[in-house]
Structures are given as C-alpha cells and as structure tokens.
Chains A and B, each alone.
Chain A
Amino acid sequence: MSESRNLPDWRSDLVRSIALGVAYYVAAQLSLRLALVGENITPLWPPTGIALVGFLLRGRRLWPGVAIAAFAVNLPISATAVAAAVTAVGNTLAPLVAATLLLRVGFRPQLDRLREALAIVFLAALGSTLISATVGATTLLVSGAITQDQFPGAWSVWWAGDAMGILVVAPFLLTLTTIREHPLPHGWKIVEAIALLGLLIAISFLSVATSLPILFLVFPVLGWAAWRFQQPGAAPAALLISLFATWAAVEERGLFAGQSLADQMFTLQMFNATVAFTSLFFAAVVSERLRSRRELEEAAAELEERVLERTTELSTSNERLAEAQALARLGSWDWDVVSGAVNWSHEMYRIHGLRRDDGPITFERAIELATPEDQARIQATVARALQERRELIPDIEYRIIRPDGSTRTLYGKARAIRSTDGSVKRMVGTVQDLTERRELEREHRIAETLQQALLPERLPQLVGISLAARYVPAEEGSAAGGDWYDVIELPDGGVAFVIGDVAGHGTEAASVMGQVRMAVRAFSLEGHAPGLVVGRVHDLLRSLYEGEQMVTMLYLVVDPTTWEATMVNAGHPPPLLLDPGGGVTYLESPTGLPVGLNWSLPYEESIARLRPGVALVLYTDGLIDRRDVEVGEGLERLREAATDKVGMDIDHLCGALLEALVPADASDDVAILAARLDPVQERLSLHIPADPARLRSVRRNIGRWLSGHDVPKQDAEDIILASSEACANSIEHAYGPGEGSVDIEAKVSGGEVTIVVRDAGRWRTSRNGDRGRGLPLMEACMDSCTLTRGDAGTEVLMQRRVPRSPSA
C-alpha cells in the first residue's frame, strides 16, 4: 500500500506483477515435486491459489506476471514451446476467471460468511479450474505427452490439483492478509493454539510415518481450530493437513499405502476436499454465528445504554420535579376513584407532616387531615364534582392539622378525569402550602391596618389653612413602616404640623408610631413650646425603649395671626416651601438627632416668617429615598418635581408629587402632609358633622379667626364658648347619634362679631333637666342671642360688640 503512494501506478503494478510471478514460479517448482502424472500434473497445485489471491487483493492487471511465470514453469516440462504457452494461457485464465467471478458476487477476503465459502468452493475451486485442466490436459494429449486413455485421469488430476490449490492455499493466504483484522490471541489462547498445532502435527506425522489409518482423527482437531479460531485457525490447519496428506500420498504411506495411483489420487482428492470444505464452512459458519452474536450483543448493549440513558433522564426530571415541588411547596396527588387508591408526591407527604411509611393514604384519611370545619367543605366540593361529572373543580383554600398539632393553610386545585361513560374515574390535583405567605400577608395587613388606624382619621378643618395628606404603604412583602403625620390645633390658636418616621417596620413600628403620635399630641395640648414638646417625646421614648427606639420627626408650629413658623427638626428631611412669589425652597434649620436614642441635648427651635399663600410640604424619606439615588439628589428631585406645582391645589399637589417620585412597587412607606396658609377672611364658614368630637375644632377655628381679627382674648373666649355651646346644643338635641351636620357662619363688621349656628333638625325636649343651662350660658356670653325654631331646622343668631384693635 505504501508503495503505491511513492511509485507511479504502472511501476508499482510492475513490481507487484514480478513479485506475484516469482511467487507463482517458486510454488510451482515446489509442487511439481509432488507430480503424480508425468512431470506436470500434481495432486496439489498451490500456484493457482497464489495467483487467485494476488488478483483478488492487488488487481487482475497483474496477470502478465502470472502468465510469464506459468510459461516459465511449463516450458521445461512441455513438449514444445507452443504447448508450454498454451498451458500457461490455461493456467493464467483459471485464476483470472475465478477472481472475476468472485469479485462479481461481492466476495470478501475475510471468509467469515457462508456465501464466501460457497463462492470460493464452487465458483473458484471447482468452476474456474475447469479451464486450466481442460486446456492443460488437451495440450498434453495434442503434444503427445499422454495417450487418449490417459486423458481422463490427467484431466481429473489436473482439475483436482488446481481446485485443491485454490481450496487449500487461497483461504490460508487470504487469512494471512486479513490477520490484522482478527484480535491477536493472548494468554491461554496462545497455549491453546500451540497445543492445537502440536496435536495436528502429531496426528498427521503418525498417520504418515506409521501405517495406522488414523488420518481421519484430524477432523475433530480441525473442527476445534475452526470453532475456536475461525479462519485464522482453520485455514492454516487445513493447509497443514493437506500438505501432510499429499506428502503421504506421494510417499504411499499410511492411508495411501498399497493403493493404485488412481485410488491414491481419488482418496487424496476426496480427503483434501473434505478437509477444505470442513474448515472453510465450519469456520465461516462459526464466524457468522459469532458475528451475529456480537451484533446482537452490541445491539443489546446499545439498547441497554439507551435504556440507562432514558432512565437517568427520567429520574433526573423526576428529581427536578421533586425539587420544584419542594421549592414551590407544591404537592401533587392522584386519586383512583374506582379503586380508592391515592398516590401522593413526596412533597405532599412533607406538607402534611407525614412519612411515606406511615401507611397508605386513602381519600378518607386525606380528608381527616383537614380541620373539622374544612372537612365538610372539601367533601361537598368533591361530592358535587362526582355527582355533576364535572372536569373542573373549584379551587379551595383550607387548613390542615399536622400530626404534631401545627396548622397549615393549603390551597388545592383539582381536576376530574372522566371515563367514556362520563363518570369520574380519577381525580388529580395539586396542593400548595400557603401558610407562610398567608402569615406574611396577615402580618402585613395587620401592620397596615394598625398604621392606618393610628393615623388621623381625617385632617382637621382649619380656617385659614388648607390641608392635605397622603399615606402610601409599602408594597406587600416589604416592610411596612411607622410613618405618621398629624395636625394638632393648639390651645393658643396655633397649629402644629407633625411628621415622623419610626425606625423599623411591621406591627411593632406601627404601635410605636401610635405611642409617639399620642405623646406628641398630649405634650402639644399641654401648651409647651415646640422644643420642649420634642424634648419630652424624646425623654418618653428613651424611658420606654431604653434608648433602643429611634424616631425621626419634624415639629412645626404655625401661628395663624403672625404667620410665624417655629420648627424643631429631629433628624428628619427638611420641609419643602412652595412660595408663589419665590419659587421652591427647603425650609432649612439646624437638624438635631432623632428622638429616642441615648443622649440628652435640648432641641433647638428655629423661626421662619411665612407669608399667606405659601404651601408647606412635610414628608417622610420614602418620598426622596431611592436605592440608586443619594439623599442630596433625592431632595433635588423633589424640589424639581414641585417647581411646576407651586400654585396647585394642595390635595392635587400631594397626588402629583407621589406620582412623580414614588414607583408603584415602593419598598418604603411614604407619608406627605401639605398645608397652604390662606389669608384671613372677613367671613368664616364652617360645616361640621353632628359629632361632639368636632366641637374642639370649631373652637380652634373660631379662635384663630378671631385672633386674626385682633379680637381681645377675654371677648374671644366668651364668643368661642357661646359658639361651641350653640353647636353642642344642635348636636345633642337636633339629631340622633351619627346623623346630620351643623353650619357655623361668622363675620366681623362694625366692631361687632356675629355668629350664626344652623342645623336641619328639630330640637327635642331634653330628658335631662340640667340641659337648660346651655342657653343661659350663651346669653351670658353674648350681647344678644336669638333662637329661631322652624320646620327647616333651628338657627341661633348671636352678636357681641368687640373693642376694635388699632391695627385692624
């Protein structure tokens, strides 16, 4: 093969041709020594086999080498050169035709199939050699080398010799060329091969060397070789046996002793043929069986591998399913309604706090795990599904009690599978453990409810100050904070604005917020200065929580007569000031530390003079804090957002700021409190629900309005008392609980204050004799007091002259 790469085709062909010719010639010379008839007919003619193998493996174009060699072999033993040439043609044609036929039928040199054995026997050995035998024997006859009587014998010996040459030599040579394809014997196989060879030689030698007719004993050995080693064992063995047999025939030994030439010839040919057939077929059959077994094994192995692969895939996906189920707290079940068998997934057991070996699950047992109040509900749902033969079963949320006594909240989804007659044969479903989620939701709801409950239910109605506020709880799942705001009407007519943020979250922060808010209210109503109020809140928190609870807050008091704002800032973002004349700024002040921590310093007050028309926006850090934004930047963003909203209605302003700055999924609570300071009006108009709790607000508003008109304190207090008393009368006598409203109108003109209180109810006679004190009190407070009762309601008109202030 390597030669063909280095040499041109014709040169390598020439070399091979010569090599084949030389081999042919040498083999011929050796076999002629075994000639039985004349000098040129031998019982075994290997050159034909050698030529066939050469043509099969290296191509039929090598024929000239064979032809020349055949001529060279025949020339000395033929009568004439022509006879030699004709014989050579026959000798060349036989293997050439044999090779052509074999290639035509798709012959494989491995000889491992039965068809190869059949082809080499019938097409090559027995068929093609008819040519060489006929040509050779005829040439002998024509040239006078043999008589006509000798012709059949010569022909048959020639034919048999060529056939044997092919049968015995070709398999051996072919095996040699394909030996690499066979695994090399190793270990005991080598020992076995040696033993086989030894036994073969021993039997053959004995049958030649002695007169014992034991040559047939080689057959079991040949069978052994074919069975154990196939062609690589059988072909050499056959060759060896044939050589021994031929040698024995020539020497007239053993089996062949005392026989005629024809008998010897016949016996030898039969024997060699049997050996050749046996080895060839047996080896081929064994090879074929082995191969099909190997293929079967390979197929089985492949199948096994694929099964293994699929099993692995399946178990991997099963594991993934189990993992996914565990992650989602999702169990699945399958209930065969007919047999009653229930199959639970692994997670299903875990959710219910059961183990697989706790015994089989049945429908009844599964139901019993639910709380008593839920059992009936589940049973009803299932019964309805069975009865109505529905595929879709409504989802159901229910609770179970685990064996350890703990309760879990589950969410079940199920589907019915119907058989052909429409009845439900199976039900499948999933169960999700919602316990933690429900608890979180509950916690969040409580915190939110608490928070909302602790915030002012409504903002007070203030004369001269418009108010708006918003509280936006954080998204569910994140921490609900302790943000709060408050507006407190102070006893002296001032209004305190409070905003703050309790550190922490959840119900705890909300409850602390409630406490702080009430403390701020209480201290404010006691009439303390802003710095003192915040200081007291600080002291209270410190003593309650031992310095562990931090709260930032802003406390800002506005005096509605002077528009003076007094502010205390305890670690809180500064309030935003929207001035129609001066743009948007922050109301800066010295910022103290948050209240509640373990330190003790007075809270500093700072004073700013505001103007009517300005709006104040107090807020918690949820409005400006973003994870990706620094505090300074957050403040700037708020300022920018407010720039085009200066003149906006105060309620819209709160909404617009939230929309501009707070994302929908805010992680922190946001509280906003906005106030606009309106100029003092000549007229005061109040409209309140008939609720005694609103009396205070009426008094504060009238008080601020009166002080806005510079009404002296003593006069103001009497007017306030009379007004509040009139409202109380309306609330108490005009309506039943929780209905109706009261209108209050007030005006100052010509040094006289007029108050009108109206209700739409009908005054009922008091059951309490003491109630009659209200009207005399009002009359005592005012210069005049007129009560008009009509179908439309009751009106109280009161007037009092007040000293005019020089500034008014």
Chain B
Amino acid sequence: MSDLASFAVVSADEVVVGFLTGEIDLSNAKELEAEIEGAVPNTALGMVLDLSALTYLDSSGIRLLLSLAGRLRWRGQDLVLATPPESRCRRVLSLAGIESTVLLETTVDEARARLRGPSA
C-alpha cells in the first residue's frame, strides 16, 4: 500500500534474503512485518534482512525488527540483519541501544555465513 518502503526477497534457498528500501515508521511498520514474516517458509534456516538501502528507521522499525526476530526464533529460525557500519540504520540501532540484542553483520554474505555457521 504505502510507497514509503518496499520489501523484496532477493534469494531464497535454505536462507531467505530479504531487501528493505525506503523508510519505516509508524505508518507502515505493522504491514511490513507481516509481509516479511510471510516470506520465510518453515523449512528455511532463517532470514537475512538487508537494511543497507533503508533511509529511515524509527522506534516502530526497531519494534518491527525485534518482534520479527522473536517470532522467527519461536519457529526455530534466526534473523540476521545486514547493515554497513556507517549506515543510517546502524546509527539508529546504536541510538536505541539494541546493537547487542540483535544479530548484526555488515554484509549480506557475512550474515548468510553466520546463519549457516553453527550448523556447519
């Protein structure tokens, strides 16, 4: 509905890689959460969410990420966020003080590797 942000699945094998662009705020967070969760099949190991192109993220967005991680964990799946150190998202995660709460990697490849890591 909203043109504020968009979500796309970039690749989906045992790890689903999702790509978020635009801005996440109160107006679209709930909607996006449902969309993203729906993109992860039960058979997947987990999900990598690429936040490198996300230009804005507020507390609603943080809530989304935490809630999504919780739901996936409940299904036995992990959520790894991929975001460069200087990005807007990294800054907000840091301001909100949840950098250590979520699984965070710099690139999608690292995030994917982290998901596969423990089982390998």
Contacts and interface: CB of A to CB of B under 8 A. Distances in A.
Contacts of A721: 56, 58, 92, 95
What is the interface of chain A mostly: helix, strand, loop, or mixed? Answer: helix
A780 interface: yes
A777 B95 contact: yes
A526 B58 CA distance: 19
B59 to A, nearest CB: 4
Contact of B96 (A518, A521, A526, A773): A773
Contact of B3 (A521, A527, A717, A768): A521
Contacts of B23: 491, 696, 699
B22 interface: yes
Interface in A668-722: 692-693, 695-696, 699, 714, 717-718, 721
Contact of B55 (A491, A724, A774): A491
B71 interface: no
A699 B23 CA distance: 11
A725 B95 CA distance: 13
A280 interface: no
A522 B25 CA distance: 17
A731 B26 contact: yes
A127 B6 CA distance: 135
Contacts of B106: none
A525 interface: yes
Contacts of A693: 2, 27
Contacts of A780: 95-97
Interface in B85-110: 88, 91-92, 95-97
Given A721-B58, A770-B66, A732 B26 contact: yes
B116 interface: no
B62 interface: yes
B4 interface: yes
B11 interface: no
A526 B5 CA distance: 10
Contact of A692 (B3, B25, B63, B95): B25
B27 A695 contact: yes
Contact of A725 (B59, B66, B88): B59
Interface string B62-74: 1100110000000
What is the interface of chain B mostly: helix, strand, loop, or mixed? Answer: mixed
A732 B25 CA distance: 12
A776 interface: yes
Contact of B22 (A525, A714, A718, A768): A525
Contacts of A699: 23, 56
A522 B6 CA distance: 9
Given A521-B3, A525-B3, A696 B27 contact: yes
A770 B92 CA distance: 16
B89 to A, nearest CB: 11
A692 B91 contact: no
A718 B91 CA distance: 9
A169 interface: no
Contacts of A696: 4, 23, 25, 27
A518 B97 contact: no
A777 B27 contact: no
A195 B67 CA distance: 136
A781 interface: yes
B7 to A, nearest CB: 13
Interface in B32-80: 55-56, 58-60, 62-63, 66-67
A740 to B, nearest CB: 15
B100 to A, nearest CB: 15
Contacts of B96: 773, 776-777, 780
Contacts of A522: 3, 6
Contacts of B25: 692, 695-696, 724, 728
A535 to B, nearest CB: 19
Contacts of B95: 718, 721, 777, 780-781
B3 A777 contact: no
A724 B3 CA distance: 18
A714 B58 CA distance: 15
Contact of A776 (B3, B60, B97): B97
Contacts of B60: 728
Most buried by B among A721, A732, A780: A721
Given A526-B21, A717-B91, A770-B66, A518 B59 contact: no
Contacts of B62: 773, 777
B26 A692 contact: yes
Contacts of A491: 23, 55
Contacts of B6: 522
A254 B89 CA distance: 159
Nearest to A773: B59
A724 B27 contact: no
Given A780-B95, A781-B95, A728 B26 contact: yes
A777 B94 CA distance: 10
Contact of B58 (A521, A527, A728): A728
A217 to B, nearest CB: 126
B10 to A, nearest CB: 16
Contacts of A526: 21
Contacts of A777: 58-59, 62, 92, 95-96
Most buried by A among B21, B25, B59: B59
B67 A770 contact: yes
Nearest to B63: A770
Interface string A766-778: 0010110110110
B34 to A, nearest CB: 16
B20 to A, nearest CB: 13
A481 to B, nearest CB: 24
A771 B25 CA distance: 13
Nearest to A768: B63
A774 B22 CA distance: 20
Contacts of A692: 25-27
Contacts of B92: 721, 777
Nearest to A492: B55
Contacts of B26: 692, 695, 728, 731-732
Contact of A774 (B21, B27, B59): B59
B102 to A, nearest CB: 13
Contacts of B63: 768, 770-771, 773
Given A525-B3, A692-B26, 13 more contacts: A491-B55, A696-B27, A699-B56, A714-B91, A717-B91, A718-B95, A721-B56, A724-B25, A725-B59, A771-B59, A773-B62, A774-B58, A781-B95
Interface of A: 491, 518, 521-522, 525-527, 692-693, 695-696, 699, 714, 717-718, 721, 724-725, 728, 731-732, 768, 770-771, 773-774, 776-777, 780-781
10 contacts: A525-B3, A695-B25, A695-B26, A695-B27, A696-B23, A696-B27, A774-B59, A776-B96, A777-B62, A781-B95
Interface of B: 2-4, 6, 21-23, 25-27, 55-56, 58-60, 62-63, 66-67, 88, 91-92, 95-97
Q: A-B pairs with the 6 shortest C-beta distances? A: A692-B27, A692-B26, A780-B95, A773-B59, A774-B59, A728-B26
